[in-house]
Amino acid sequence: MHLFHVYVWPLIAVLAGNCAKGSGISGTNGYVEYFPGTPDSQVIITAAHGGYLKPSSIPDRTKGCLSGSTCIWTHTCGSTSSQCTAKTVRDTKTKELATELTKALETQTGKRPHLIVNHLSRVKLDPNREIGEATFNVAAALTAFNEYHKFITDARANITGAGLLFDIHGQSHPEKWIELGYLMSKKRLNENNLEPTLSSIRSLYNSHSTNMNFDALLRGNNSFGGLLSNHGYQVVPSPGNTSPGSGNYFSGGYTVKTYGSRNGGAIDAIQIESPYALRTSERATYVAALTAVVQNFLDLYY
Ligand SMILES: *[C@@H]1O[C@H](CO)[C@@H](O)[C@H](O)[C@H]1NC(C)=O
Ligand SMILES: *[C@@H]1O[C@H](CO)[C@@H](O)[C@H](O)[C@H]1NC(C)=O
Ligand SMILES: [Zn+2]
């Protein structure tokens, strides 16, 4: 009894305290972090562009040099080119959005999604780019990049069977719509030239292709966009906005390319690019809607 109180109870208290604070598995210097999900969760949530840390030991990502038609992404490449300008703008409040969505899903379903967060500011690291552009070949940034992607790989390995990754981003396009990226280009969406084998939800399509066509899965009433637009949001693609037309649209980046099912496997991926208001003043309502839609989508297809 005494031993328990003296040695074991403080340990339990410390562990419980850490869980309550929500600390995850930290990468080197705490630059990236993995909050493992519960074993029964099929969801991974990633936030690459919402970090705040700007350690002076990592030089800012600025411009690379143009060599032929490719960029050389180092700080010592010589004369830089405006054609190789790194994007460094923060996706405001996407770390918070991803964290709150994770918590709400845990509360609603009892299953906690896997959450991977980049705490570094995008001016120091962009883990949603190829490694060179992401890090400018700076050692500490390379370490953080590799740890961020190792965590996603770990999360995928911890999911048995089908799963779904949401890569959380923000944009400030004048259309103010939610852009869902499945690796279907704006051109293909506009021209109704859809190609499931190129998409980040290829596995989802394959497992439902006997009773559902790809068009319906991508932008029908029971697509992710269709379900989300039922909450009163403008979403592309969705039944109300089947394609971007001449509007601005992000079709999906490095993370959904690398970890979705385009190249095989049973983990699908959707990039969610939310407009500013939904990440700031209207975030609480938006998180509740997203939570319901994720749950609904999983119930329908996974
Ligand atoms: C799975 O989750 C655990 C924590 O629950 C984590 O330590 C581990 O790295 C993850 N990956 C694998 C492959 O087990
Ligand atoms: C989608 O929903 C709308 C509005 O509820 C309905 O009019 C339409 O028939 C539905 N489309 C399909 C293909 O079920
Ligand atoms: Zn982004």
Residues 227-271: pLDDT tens digits? 999 999 999 999 999 999 999 999 999 999 999 999 999 999 999
Count of CB atoms situated within 10 Å of the CB of 161 = 8
Look up the pTM and report it: 0.92
- Alpha carbon of 159 to ligand 1 centroid (Å): 10
Count of CB atoms situated within 10 Å of the CB of 251 = 22
Domain ranges of the chain: 2-53+89-301
Averaged confidence pLDDT in the chain: 93
Q: Which one-letter DSSP state was computed for residue 30?
A: G
Nearest CA to ligand 1 atom 14: 158
pLDDT confidence band for 21 (50 / 70 / 90): very low
Nearest CA to ligand 1 atom 6: 36
What span, in angstroms and rounded, lies between the C-alpha atoms of 10 and 205? 50
- Alpha carbon of 87 to ligand 2 centroid (Å): 40
Best mutation site among 215, 218, 221 for ligand 2 pocket (most ligand atoms within 8 Å of CB): 221
Q: Which residues pair with 46 in a beta bridge?
A: 116, 167
Decide which of 3.30.2320, 3.40.630, 3.30.750, 3.40.120 is the CATH code for 2-53+89-301: 3.40.630
In this prediction, residue 14 carries a pLDDT of 40
User: With the C-alpha atoms ordered 163, 184, 252, 230, is the resulting torsion angle positive or negative?
Assistant: negative
Nearest CA to ligand 2 atom 1: 221
Residues 116-175: pLDDT tens digits? 999 999 999 999 999 999 999 999 999 999 999 999 999 999 999 999 999 999 999 999
What span, in angstroms and rounded, lies between the C-alpha atoms of 60 and 77? 15
Q: Is the CB of 157 under 6 A from ligand 1?
A: yes
Contacts of 3 (CB under 8 A, 6+ apart): none
CA dist 252 → 55, 167, 169, 204, 242 (Å): 29, 9, 10, 17, 16
Statement: residue 82 has pLDDT above 50: yes
